[in-house]
């Protein structure tokens, strides 16, 4: 048996399902709207939980999962959150309000979990090495010392015509990384709600300091959006959906 055969034999394979109903998938995407008014119908707990679980399956860099979803159900906190959302009707009438928070404060913890909770009896040596290194890709150090060092080092390496991955040169870069990833999970969440027959409104218009105060967030936890969710009221969509010419956005090069 050759080394290649051994490698092939030990490799993990996961077949892609082929029976997905594209028409229904399209229906979910095309019927997802920013709903501004909801009925008073509650979302069953098991449905909400499943939608949140589907959100957690979103793609994310190095499986570091830099997010937390705060389902605000305490009446007092929910009232404060509606205020933080500037009293928007989508917040006032929502059955559920979910604050989606990007996190850069537990990169080390998640890297260690990727080793300790790897889905084999033991994480391969290569995986362990990767997760000991990868946190430094997103760290910038005290007074941005590590970020500045990486910036200089990357400039030098690129003069040698070497390709390098995206990295964080300052805290804003790390925040952007976590925010992009969290936004992917937010999309999963609203599409899952639509598939179950419920709707949502992804609100970016909110008072961030007040949201931070309500949830007691630290300075490495960033509210990305507040999602109002519930059953669409008859007049819950204010205008028809429209998009500009696709040629403005899609370029084949």
Question: Please, which residues bridge with residue 34 across strands?
Answer: 200
DSSP state of 178: H
At residue 1 the predicted structure's pLDDT band, cuts being 50, 70 and 90, is low
19 vs 25: CA distance, rounded Å: 12
Q: Token digits for 77?
A: 């906190």
* Predicted local distance difference test score (pLDDT) of residue 163: 86
Return d(Cα 132, Cα 126) in angstroms, integer. 10
- Position 7 scores a pLDDT of 52
The partner residues of 223 in beta bridges, in order of sequence, read 101
Lowest mean pLDDT among 94-98, 149-153, 160-164, 199-203: 160-164
Q: Does the pTM exceed 0.85?
A: yes
pLDDT at site 50 = 98
| All domains of the chain in start order, with CATH | 33-234 (3.40.109.10)
Q: Are strands 67-72 and 96-103 parallel, antiparallel or unpaired?
A: antiparallel
């Amino acid at each position: 048996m050759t080394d290649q055969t051994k490698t092939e034999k030990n490799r993990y394979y996961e077949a892609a399902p082929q029976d997905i109903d594209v028409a229904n998938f399209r229906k979910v995407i095309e019927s997802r709207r920013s709903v501004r008014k909801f009925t008073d119908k509650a979302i069953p707990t098991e449905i909400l939980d499943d939608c949140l679980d589907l959100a957690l399956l979103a793609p994310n860099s190095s499986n570091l999962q830099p997010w937390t979803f705060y389902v605000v159900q305490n009446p007092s906190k929910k009232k404060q959150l509606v205020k933080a959302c500037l009293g928007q009707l989508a917040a006032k009438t929502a059955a559920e309000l979910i604050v989606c928070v990007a996190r850069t404060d537990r990169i080390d913890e998640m890297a260690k979990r990727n080793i300790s909770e790897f889905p084999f009896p033991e994480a391969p040596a290569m995986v362990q090495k990767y997760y000991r290194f990868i946190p430094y890709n997103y760290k910038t150090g005290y007074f941005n010392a590590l970020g500045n060092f990486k910036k200089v080092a990357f400039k030098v390496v690129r003069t040698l015509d070497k390709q390098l991955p995206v990295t964080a040169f300052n805290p804003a870069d790390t925040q952007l990384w976590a925010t992009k990833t969290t936004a992917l999970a937010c999309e999963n969440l609203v599409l899952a709600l639509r598939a179950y027959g419920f709707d949502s409104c992804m609100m970016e218009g909110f008072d961030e300091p007040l949201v931070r105060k309500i949830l007691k967030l630290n300075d490495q936890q960033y509210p990305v959006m507040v999602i109002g969710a519930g059953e669409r009221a008859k007049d819950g969509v204010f205008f028809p959906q429209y998009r500009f010419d696709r040629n403005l956005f899609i370029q084949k090069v």
